């Protein structure tokens, strides 16, 4: 699936957060790195229309984010940095089913899909648990399951490993490899970024480097430490 950014200028609170962006994303694993405030969060929020650019156009699979945002959101699964802000219902299975309400009107089908998503991540045993009794890593799994259950064509992750300890971080990397969908990942985790197919470096709202992961990380280390 192709994601195109054409002549993008984004302004937030009077500040230029992204300038002069022109690129196409089609690789299976795309990483985005950059210093804080470089526009990474803004960048990925353009993909599913959470933010609209001041100028320019973003096309996801041929659909314009200004026009077909609902269709796009059905294709793009967004996993936020803090699972606490993403999980809406108190019980795990309820939350996952909620995300499916519109796509799967039939209740038994919905439950099946929700259970499938949990099983895929090895989290089936959490289905009846109350969210606030879960650990941070478990909550992240639940948030991810909620997104996977909607069967998106592409996934976007906003700093997925920042709040995880080493063990959970490795577990995440494993899950990532098992996912069939393409993924765009914003992260500070340079080891994770090393496993990507293509890495973009954002700096000061501009695309500073775009290419192979090792070169990108190298550039980042030299110019942004």
Partner 1 sequence: MGSFYVPGDSWLHQLPTGLKLSLLMLAGAGLMWVHDWRILLVILIVVLLLIQQSGVRVLQWWQHIRTLSWLLLALIIFTALTQSPMTAIEVGLRMLALLLAALLVSLTTSIAKMMEVLIWLLQPLQTRGWVNSERVALVFGLTLRLIPELSVQWHEIREAQAARGLKANPLTMGVPMLLRTLKRAQEIADALDARQ
Residues engaged in binding partner 1 (CB under 8 A): 45, 48, 50, 70, 73-74, 76, 78, 80, 82, 84-90, 94-95, 98-99, 101-102, 131-132, 146-147, 150
Q: What SS3 string covers the chain?
A: CCEEEEEEEEEECCEEEEEEEEEEECCCEEEEECCCCCCHHHHHHHHCCCCCCCEEEEEECCEECCCCHHHHHHHEEEECCCHHHHCCCCEHHHHHHHHHCCCCCCHHHHHHHHHHHHHHCCCHHHCCCEHHHCCHHHHHHHHHHHHHHCCCCEEEEECCCCCCCHHHHHHHHHHHHHCCCEEEEECCCHHHHCCCCEEEEEECCEEEEEECHHHHHHHHHHHHC
Q: How far is the CB of 220 from partner 1 (least distance, A)?
A: 27
Q: How far is the CB of 29 from partner 1 (least distance, A)?
A: 21
Q: How far is the CB of 132 from partner 1 (least distance, A)?
A: 4
């Amino acid at each position: 699936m192709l994601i195109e950014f054409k002549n993008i200028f984004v302004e937030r609170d009077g500040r230029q957060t992204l300038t002069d962006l022109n690129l196409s994303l089609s690789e299976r694993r795309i990483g985005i790195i950059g210093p804080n405030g470089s526009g990474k969060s803004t960048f990925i929020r353009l993909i599913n229309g959470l933010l609209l650019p001041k100028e320019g156009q973003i096309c996801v699979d041929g659909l314009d984010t200004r026009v077909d945002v609902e269709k796009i959101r059905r294709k793009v699964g967004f996993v936020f940095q803090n699972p606490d802000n993403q999980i809406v219902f108190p019980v795990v299975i309820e939350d996952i089913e909620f995300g499916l309400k519109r796509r799967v009107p039939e209740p038994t089908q919905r439950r099946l899909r929700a259970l499938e998503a949990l099983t895929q991540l090895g989290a089936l045993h959490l289905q009846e648990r109350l969210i606030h009794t879960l650990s941070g890593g478990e909550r992240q799994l639940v948030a991810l399951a909620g997104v996977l259950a909607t069967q998106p064509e592409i996934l976007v992750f906003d700093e997925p490993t920042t709040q995880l300890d080493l063990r959970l971080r490795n577990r995440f990397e494993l899950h990532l490899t098992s996912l069939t969908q393409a993924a765009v990942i914003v992260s500070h985790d340079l080891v994770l970024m090393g496993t990507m197919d293509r890495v973009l470096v954002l700096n000061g709202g501009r695309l500073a480097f775009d290419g192979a992961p090792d070169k990108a990380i190298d550039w980042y280390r030299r110019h942004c430490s």
